[in-house]
């Protein structure tokens, strides 16, 4: 695959490239992709800057019409895109197909944003005047996205950027560049003018940083790790650029004594292991009231033993490989640290070989018990299929433990009691709260983001997107003379 700059597919200026392997069978090479550097970022930003005046001058519904056509393209190519995504990132095919549909839905939601309000009318102090606000675009925005939702996250950042009149420099994760290329191709085929959306592929340290440092990039929206997010934030805030960060999670599912344990078991396990736990919204802590600790533990153990780990292209697979050798090493290392701290491994956690005994980055989903709320397994984001059980005395202690981490992205409670459900929704530090639901999974039309170290206080998706991707102009119009 190639970069896409100013409407042209092209190699990196340096001519350098890397090979992306299938994480389920490392000898299967997906293809090669450019290793870009600051020169490619400069060209992409220049193209986006040149395209900006005409793009912002186009009517919003005309911009939306292009997004509608791109959604049609994504829907038509969905099955092929899902196979590419599964091969490139290891996402199981059933999840990958659902994500392709979701990406098209996201594009359609934002296409329709063009036909909703871009401002408000007020009554002013001057009765003769028309006083209104208008949402105007920012300019050239940078989009830096991860590999775990290689279509949905680019869609929910790029679609609002475009419909509100910005032009874009897009840097996808190295591990998902081919899927990103296919997404950009749909937007190009839908008639996006050259330079409005530019794709630059390569290492984050090089080009992510070059995008953040570029004086013509006025805003950056980033989803990824806290470490990278804070480096980008320093560069961006130092030069006064606008920033949106979606970072890690350590999401709890609190199970109260009156809960439906079968429902809780199913949704907790899916929340923990879908996409091999590589979701910032993954369930990673089960905080359970002592009265139901043993029956819940037995159910979880039984459900874990039924999980099918295998080829992401096989429709029966629930859990595929981790995305890379680096992730596999990190996840195995955290489990070893957890055991050294006294957590008891009830199930899984061992490395597995790929389909047909080939090399792959597989780990058996792991269930830990007797995890202390202070331990690494209870505090740090693992980004792997690892679930820790933390028993608590009662609801009060459950809330305290649930809130006792630096993150605050999503949280679930399982209970039949309305008073407890309402108290949980009120007191939990999380941007997404589910009562008798999974911690993961978000809808395109509602705001998404976290509290504390999980986000930068801004929200993505739905009508919230207009807040980040526009700025408000307040206009007063008076007749030249008053008769
Ligand atoms: C979801 O749970 O469907 O990177 C979306 C992530 C989040 C998105 C989660 N930003 O996992």
SS3 at position 254: strand
**280 C-alpha to center of ligand 1: Å?**
5
Whole-angstrom Cα distance, residue 10 to residue 68? Answer: 26
Its pTM surpasses 0.85: yes
Contact 196, 84 (CB under 8 A): no
With a CB cutoff of 8 Å and minimum separation 6, the contacts of 248 are 225, 226, 280, 381, 383, 407, 409, 453, 454
Q: Which protein residues touch ligand 1 with a CB less than 6 Å away?
A: 146, 148-149, 223, 246, 279-281, 440-442
pLDDT, tens digit (0-9, with 9 covering 90-100), for 289-300: 999 999 999 999
| Residue of 281, 450, 464 with the most ligand 1 atoms within 8 Å of its CB, for mutation | 281
Ligand 1, atom 4, lies closest to the CA of 280
Ligand 1, atom 6, lies closest to the CA of 280
pLDDT, tens digit (0-9, with 9 covering 90-100), for 434-454: 999 999 999 999 999 999 999
**281 C-alpha to center of ligand 1: Å?**
5
pLDDT, tens digit (0-9, with 9 covering 90-100), for 141-155: 999 999 999 999 999
Q: Known catalytic residue: 397?
A: no
Mean pLDDT over 462-476 rounds to: 97
> Would you place residue 483 in the very low, low, confident or very high pLDDT band (cuts 50, 70, 90)?
low
**134 C-alpha to center of ligand 1: Å?**
31
Q: Known catalytic residue: 186?
A: no
Torsion of CA 436, 438, 444, 450, to 10 degrees: 100
Structure confidence at residue 357 (pLDDT): 79
Q: What DSSP designation does 446 have?
A: S
Q: Considering 246, 289, 381, 460, which one is annotated as catalytic?
A: 246
Quick check: 228 pLDDT over 70?
yes
Bridge-based pairing of strands 3-5 and 386-392 is: unpaired
pLDDT, tens digit (0-9, with 9 covering 90-100), for 306-332: 999 999 999 999 999 999 999 999 999
**349 C-alpha to center of ligand 1: Å?**
23
Comparing 85-94, 178-187, 355-364, the range with the smallest average pLDDT is 355-364
Quick check: 358 pLDDT over 90?
no
pLDDT, tens digit (0-9, with 9 covering 90-100), for 41-59: 999 999 999 999 999 999 9
Q: Considering 280, 289, 381, 460, which one is annotated as catalytic?
A: 280
Domains detected in the chain: 3-247+455-475 (3.40.605.10), 251-435 (3.40.309.10)
SS3 at position 122: strand
Mean pLDDT over 411-427 rounds to: 98
Backbone dihedral angles phi then psi of residue 76, each to the nearest 5 degrees:
-65, -40
**244 C-alpha to center of ligand 1: Å?**
15
């Amino acid at each position: 695959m190639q970069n896409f700059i100013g409407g042209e597919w092209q190699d990196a200026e340096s001519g350098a490239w890397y090979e992306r392997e299938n994480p389920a069978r490392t000898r299967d090479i997906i293809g090669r992709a450019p290793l870009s550097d600051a020169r490619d970022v400069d060209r992409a930003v220049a193209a986006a800057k040149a395209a900006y005046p005409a793009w912002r001058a186009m009517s919003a519904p005309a911009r939306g019409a292009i997004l509608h056509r791109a959604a049609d393209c994504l829907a038509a190519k969905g099955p092929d895109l899902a196979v590419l995504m599964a091969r490139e990132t290891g996402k199981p095919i059933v999840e990958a197909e659902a994500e392709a549909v979701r990406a098209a839905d996201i594009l359609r939601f934002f296409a329709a944003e063009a036909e909703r309000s871009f401002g408000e009318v007020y009554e002013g102090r001057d009765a003769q005047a028309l006083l209104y606000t208008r949402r105007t675009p920012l300019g050239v925005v940078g989009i830096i996205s991860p590999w775990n939702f290689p279509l949905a996250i680019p869609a929910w950042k790029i679609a609002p950027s475009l419909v509100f009149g910005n032009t874009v420099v897009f840097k996808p994760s190295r591990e998902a560049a081919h899927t990103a290329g296919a997404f950009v191709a749909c937007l190009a085929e839908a008639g996006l003018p050259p330079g409005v959306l530019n794709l630059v592929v390569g290492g984050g340290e090089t080009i992510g940083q070059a995008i953040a440092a570029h004086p013509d990039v006025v805003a950056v929206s980033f989803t990824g790790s806290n470490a990278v997010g804070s480096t980008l934030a320093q560069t961006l805030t130092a030069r006064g650029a606008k920033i949106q960060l979606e970072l890690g999670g350590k999401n709890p599912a609190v199970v109260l004594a009156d809960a439906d344990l079968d429902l809780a078991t199913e949704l907790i396990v899916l929340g923990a292991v879908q996409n091999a736990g590589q979701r910032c919204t993954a369930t990673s802590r089960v905080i359970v009231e002592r009265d139901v600790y043993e029956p819940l533990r037995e159910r979880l153990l039984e459900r874990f033993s039924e999980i099918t780990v295998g080829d992401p292209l096989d429709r029966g697979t629930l859990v595929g490989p981790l995305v890379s050798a680096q992730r596999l090493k990190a996840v195995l290392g955290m489990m070893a640290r957890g055991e050294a701290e006294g957590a008891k491994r009830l199930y899984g956690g061992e490395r597995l070989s790929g389909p047909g005994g080939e090399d792959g980055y597989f780990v058996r989903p792991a269930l830990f018990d007797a995890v202390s709320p202070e331990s690494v397994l209870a505090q740090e984001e693992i980004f792997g299929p690892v679930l820790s059980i933390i028993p608590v005395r009662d609801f009060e202690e459950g809330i305290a433990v649930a809130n006792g981490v630096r993150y605050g992205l999503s949280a679930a409670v399982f209970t039949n009691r309305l008073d407890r459900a309402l108290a949980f929704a009120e007191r939990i530090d999380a941007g997404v709260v589910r009562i008798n639901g999974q911690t993961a999974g978000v809808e395109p039309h509602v705001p998404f983001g976290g509290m504390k170290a999980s986000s930068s206080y801004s929200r993505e998706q739905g009508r919230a997107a207009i807040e980040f991707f526009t700025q408000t102009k307040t206009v007063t119009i008076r007749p030249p003379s008053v008769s």
